[in-house]
Amino acid sequence: MNQGKRVGIVGAGNVGATVAYSLAMLGSCHEIILRDNKIDVARGKALDMSQAASAVRSHTVVKVAETMEDMVDCDVVVVTAGSPRLPGMSRDDLLMTNANITKEVVEGIAKYSPNAIIIMVSNPLDAMTYVALKESGFERSRVLGMAGILDSSRMAAFIQEKLGYGGGQIRASVMGGHGDDMVPLPRYSTVAGVPLTDLLSDKEIEEIVHRTRHGGAEIVACLKTGSAYYAPAKSTAIMVEAILKDTKQIHPCAVYLDGEYGYDNVVSGVPVMIGANGAEKIIEVTLNEKEQEMFKKSCDSVKELITTLEKNKFFDGEK
């Protein structure tokens, strides 16, 4: 079904490489093209993955793009490239650094894979998805950010840990931006269709919500020298698969809002139906007053980042 499908991945670090490996093992596409500034590292990983694909009889071949020109005619391009927050670097410094990296990468994608769907993974996620949309000139359905699937999977794992049962039957729901202002939705979270509120106390649910919000930081504290990549990569691969297979499944993703939920000119995580054309439909769920307040706070946080970019005249340059 996916013969001839091509996926580009810009950034062959832990997340990008694990996305590639996950897709290669599934045989999701005919070709995966890795692009990284460390070309030899990307080449080594590509060889290793191609050999792993052969071991499981997958037809996927993993190649390397020495320049963006080699990343041509991709159906989907995943962008994980970006700088981590280095010592002494402010949040605004990180924002500008990664916005400039994203801008350069997206210009290449728009030029060499003009029909691609872009999945952003670089942080700060919602702001980088906004930058990618503006710089690519693509319609909003073709630029998505990966966060909601990851945050929902973290919440589901914590629910399973707390309950001690229900593995594989838990559906957790998280909206909003990817960060401390995310909006976990216990009301829309179930175990085999049973509402979470029927299985856990308010205090237990609040503990899960708090842990979900800080799920990434918890892993960073354990690893000491890096951040999570297995769950972020698998969550990204799920989005790629949904596009390549045109599944029409609903997943929470970061997308540009144009009036939905009462917001516009901002990117936030909401449930979307994903198919061959990207985010084909935005689903508007009913939020109660408390949830609306949390969602507003989340959108406001992203708007602050966009305002910072505008103040620095980021969008004023030549396209």
CATH number at 89 reads: 3.40.50.720
Nearest to 180, CA basis, from 207, 210, 208, 213: 213
- For residues 191 and 100, membership in a common domain is answered with no
The confidence score (pLDDT) of residue 92 equals: 82
Rounded to an integer, the average pLDDT of 139-152 is 97
Mean pLDDT (whole number) for 131-154: 97
Domain match, 152 and 297 both: yes
Average pLDDT over residues 230-237: 98
Does residue 319 lie within any of the structural domains? no
Same domain, 124 and 185: no
Confidence class for position 1, pLDDT limits 50, 70, 90: very low
| Three-point CA angle 115, 116, 120, nearest 5° | 145
Structural domain boundaries enclosing 69 = 6-145
Q: Under a CB-based contact definition with an 8 Å cutoff, are residues 128 and 145 in contact? A: yes
Supply the pTM of this predicted model.
Answer: 0.96
Mean pLDDT of 72-92: 88
Residue 100, judged by CB atoms within 10 A of its CB (0-12, 13-18, 19+), counts as middle
Smallest Cα–Cα separation from 160: which of 180, 182, 189, 117? 189
Mean pLDDT for the chain overall? 95
Residues 86 and 112 in one domain: yes
Q: Is the dihedral of CA 280, 284, 285, 288 positive or negative?
A: positive
pLDDT of residue 180: 85
Q: Do you find a cis peptide bond into 195, omega within 30 degrees of 0?
A: no
Catalytic residues: 178
